[in-house]
Amino acid sequence: MRLGRGTCSFLCSLLLACGSQEHSTPSSPSAAVGVGHLGRAVLTRVAENPMALAVAPTGDVYYIERTGEVREYSARTGAVTAALVLTVDTTHENGLLGLALDPAFVQNRYVYLYYSLPLEDPLPVNAPPGRNVLTRFTAAADGSLDPATRVELLSVPSERLCCHEGGGMAFGPDGTLYLSVGDNTNPFASSGSAPLDGRPGRETYDARRTAANAFDLRGKILRLEADGSIPPGNLFPADGSRGRPEIYTLGNRNPYRIALDSANGALYWGDIGPDAPYDSALGPRGYDEIDRATAPGNFGWPYCIAAQLPYVEHDFASGAVGEPFDCSHTEPSLAAYDYDTPTYPALGDAYAPDGTFVGRAAMAGAVYRPLPAAPYALPDRFQGSLLMMDWTRDVIAAVTTGGDGQLAGIERLFETEAFHRPTDLEVGPDGAVYVLSFGSGFWGDNADAELSRVEYGTVLSPVAAINASATYGRAPLSVVFSAEGSHATSEDESLVAYAWDFDGDGRSDAAGPSVTHVFEQKGTYSVSLVVTSSSGKKSFPVAQRIVAGNSPPAVHIIAPDPAAVLANGSTVTLQGEAHDPEDGDAACSELVWNVSLGHNTHSHPITSLTGCSASFVADLGDHESAASTDLLFYAIELVYTDHGGPDGEAALTAREGIRVDAR
């Protein structure tokens, strides 16, 4: 099955997607979360492999791409700029993984990033080959991050092998910074159960070496001062005699995103669990967890899961099973759900209405604590609730706890809206909820990856949308811009003004629902639109990128055949080509292949290759013995970026992707 976007460049597809920007009609009170109604605006689809976001007090939004880009959405102009581009290692699940703004960002301009350094040469001896680092940068007045301000605060080892790198970051009310780190363990040899392979040479298949090891930072949630020093109150003493003093919680599998309650310091996280669909001799079925901690603790992995359910000692050489582990000293989850048991109806089902297997992937988003009298605050019952996401089920839900810290309920939020694989969310100071969506494709680079803003209330901001007759071409380039799709979000309101900005200075250059502008000079332009409703409310700006002087390239995957089935252990040959109107046929050295191994409805990045022809071995490992064998596939993407226009115009990128089943 072919899932690519033909030969249109990635930028072309992205801009066309922005031009036909989706928007929601106002939800009726019965479909919303209370007396008011919801309004959603897609702020930008300039997103490729989005991972995390952070909202500044000004309303500007930083978000990161796994491939190393830090982007900033301007609440003044709607333009998205590259605040910083890092060189990162994207092997397997590595890359630019985490982002947080300092609580005093207005004063100190500190931005914290967690990312995978390129491999050192020569490689370290007797140590994992990679390093993931927690760093701090200082943002300039224009929002850019100065590389010269980089400060490295912490280094975490990484095997650069599958899987679970983590990267969630959040600040507590005391100013301490929490960082989640996955267990960095390959789960595919354990039949969907706990990875406990103790045989020599199989260390990367044993989570006891990381998640259960007090002297390893992986499989943990860490707690640091903002300068990287160790605060009091962590799990182990500061002298390091009993374990790494940075550790706050131990025994985590894949705590991808975390959240802190600004009122009481409670820590929440989603821990994405293993794949076993049923209980077995090896222990319980797989569960995803929502966890909560108000003090340091051990949450059990890989010995225990969910409500202190024990796994069983397993000899991988003989297949013999022993006694269950003792879970009495571990902390139970706040909530846990498997594939098939409808424990929490608000979290949806593991199967789509058409019968397609969806799976589960629990993530914490943010604890809902907007500023007092926030104009777009959700109803009072959501104050202090965790807003969580399930990445594969496209669900956002509110998790509430009682005074005893125990689960009180889970309620679906924003059900009238379609979020395709929400990967992070944050609450703005005005009560609006910002959602970053990864999009529908398996390899990233999705046309429906987007940054959205959701408001709740009785009088909401209108929504702006841009349609452009062309997004690239030779200069002079004449473009007809239409505001079709823009709308007021209350039924008794209408749009009364349209302000177009063609030069990115934040001032209106034209008015009206449809305007024509000629870009006389070659270059890259950001055209923004702000609409005003009859209540006087202005929209957040949306922007359209226009490239005058360059045309996009085209790429084509020749092999493998998407209808093929790749056998375990077989050599897979990749063949492709690219052509650019200005540059001609692409040099083979400039073609990049991204290969991911997928199971169920998500994929794990495996490798990147270059060339018109390349190959890799379809190594399913022991994954073929897992319960999801009939759902294994490879997601293969071909990428080419041209050399830009003849006078330095912006380079454009073309991408095509296919999914090929594997057995």
Residue 212: CATH number of its domain: 2.120.10.30
> What pLDDT, in 10s, does the model give residues 591-610?
999 898 887 666 778 888 99
* Residue 418 belongs to some domain of the structure: no
In a domain, residue 13? The reply is no
Q: What is the pLDDT of residues 495-525, one digit of tens each?
A: 999 999 999 888 999 999 999 999 999 999 9
* pLDDT for position 255: 97
- DSSP conformation class of 161: S
On whether both 536 and 658 belong to a single domain, the answer is no
pTM: predicted TM-score of the whole model, two decimal places: 0.88
Same domain, 179 and 66: no
Question: Which of 160, 193, 228 marks a domain boundary?
Answer: 160
pLDDT at 85: 97
Residues 576 and 615 in one domain: yes
Residue 390 contacts residue 360 (beta carbons within 8 Å): yes
In order of 168, 339, 347, 352, the CA distances from 359 in angstroms are: 21, 6, 11, 9
Provide mean pLDDT across the span 433-461.
90
| Domain identity same for 190 and 281 | yes
Res 62: pLDDT? 98
Domain residues for the domain of 657 are 554-662
Q: Is residue 502 part of a domain?
A: yes
Q: Are residues 211 and 312 in the same domain?
A: yes
Can you spell out the DSSP letters for 236-247? Answer: S-TT-SSS-TTE
Residue 652 pLDDT level (bands cut at 50, 70, 90): confident
Give the pLDDT of residue 601.
64
Number of domains in the chain: 4
Domain boundary among 336, 368, 391: 336
Residue 450 in any domain: the answer is no
User: Does residue 220 sit in the same domain as residue 331?
Assistant: yes
Shared-domain flag, residues 135 and 281: no
Res. 15: pLDDT tops 50: no
pLDDT (tens digit per residue) in 351-369: 888 888 889 999 999 999 9
CATH number at residue 485: 2.60.40.10
- CB count, 10 Å around CB of 204? 19
Is residue 78 domain-shared with residue 204, that is, in the same domain? no
What DSSP letter does each residue of 108-152 carry, written as one string?
A: H-EEEEEEEPPPPSSPPSSS-SEEEEEEEEEB-TTS-B-GGG-EE
Whether 176 and 290 share a structural domain: yes
Whether the predicted pLDDT of 24 surpasses 60: no
Claim to verify: residue 638 and residue 558 sit in the same structural domain: yes
Q: What's the CA gap between 274 and 268, in Å, rounded? A: 19
Mean pLDDT of 210-227: 98
Per-residue model confidence (pLDDT) at position 600: 63
172 and 134, same structural domain? no
Q: Is residue 109 assigned to a domain?
A: yes
**Gap between the Cα atoms of 482 and 512, Å rounded:** 9
User: Which CATH number fits the domain that encloses residue 641?
Assistant: 2.60.40
Assess whether pLDDT exceeds 90 at residue 272: yes
Angstrom distance (rounded) from CA 35 to CA 603:
40
Q: Is residue 360 part of a domain?
A: no
Last residue of a domain, one of 128, 160, 192: 160
Cα→Cα distances 306→211, 253, 299, 330, 447, Å: 16, 12, 9, 10, 36
Is 414 part of any domain?
no
Q: What is the mean pLDDT of the chain?
A: 90
Q: For residues 153 and 230, state if they share a domain.
A: no
Is residue 483 domain-resident?
yes
